[in-house]
Amino acid sequence: MIEEREIEFESRIKRVQQIINDKQADACIVVTGVNHYYLTGRIVDGYLYIPGEGKPLLFVKRPLGIEGDGVAYIRKPEQIPDLLRQDNRPLPKRLLLESEVVSFAAALRLQAALGMPEIGNVSSDLRHIRSVKSAEELDEMRACARIHASVYRQIPSIYQKGMTDIDFQIELEHAMRRAGSIGIFRSYGENMDIFMGSILAGDNAAAGSPYD
């Protein structure tokens, strides 16, 4: 199982490298948790450096204790150039970033640290890669759906006459947490936040909202 996962991660990295080459770039730096997890199987505070060819490097600020080839600990992105040189790798002249989600200040800092390479955007390309699911990912989604269905089947016993909508929502969230939810929800979009969900009942169900 572990070997299969490693093969899958290698395949995903190669797809990113194909994008790097198609965009005539030299490397890509990934900083977001969702893409770290998709490409490495772990979430770190740091930078995943993917060259157009060759093995990626993971520059980690935290957590401690991550070991393996291609892992280096840093305190700040300004340390990345020296580590690339130590590994006999040139600095990129054209660099892809997740420009749709990385702050302007963070992008400028990375650009300055790496000698002012030209910056390109890889956000939509990474989303497209993630949208094509492997058989293993589909199995995981089905397993998750079965857990959701089992929680929803509890609704008749969770609901009690006289409950307010918020009380009902709290009890349903409690059942979800007991079923394994860690309470973290992702969304993508400007000015968008997401949480476990709302129970809509009565007049407030028709109230307008400024959110997507």
pLDDT reported for residue 120: 98
pLDDT reported for residue 106: 97
Alpha carbon separation from 113 to 76, 77, 81, 91 (Å, rounded): 10, 7, 7, 10
pLDDT reported for residue 170: 93
Distance, CA of 102 to CA of 26 (rounded, Å):
19
Report the percent of the chain where pLDDT is more than 70. 96
**How far is the first Cα of the chain from the last one, in angstroms, to the nearest whole number?**
39
Alpha carbon separation from 83 to 113, 123, 138 (Å, rounded): 12, 25, 38
Kindly give the residue spans of alpha helices, DSSP state H, lying in 95-134.
104-113, 123-131
pLDDT reported for residue 35: 97
Nearby residues of 158 by Cβ (< 8 Å), 6 or more positions away: 168, 171, 172, 175
CA dihedral 85, 21, 31, 82 (to 10 degrees): 10
Report DSSP state, residue 101.
Answer: T
Evaluate the omega torsion of the peptide bond into residue 81 and state whether it is cis, within 30 degrees of 0: no
What is the reported pTM?
0.87
Mean pLDDT of 79-105: 96
Mean pLDDT of 5-13: 93
Whether the pLDDT of residue 122 is over 70: the answer is yes
pLDDT digits (tens, 9 = 90+) for 124-181: 999 999 999 999 899 999 999 999 999 999 999 999 999 988 899 999 999 999 999 9
Tell me the average pLDDT of the chain: 92
pLDDT reported for residue 102: 94
Mean pLDDT of 184-198: 75
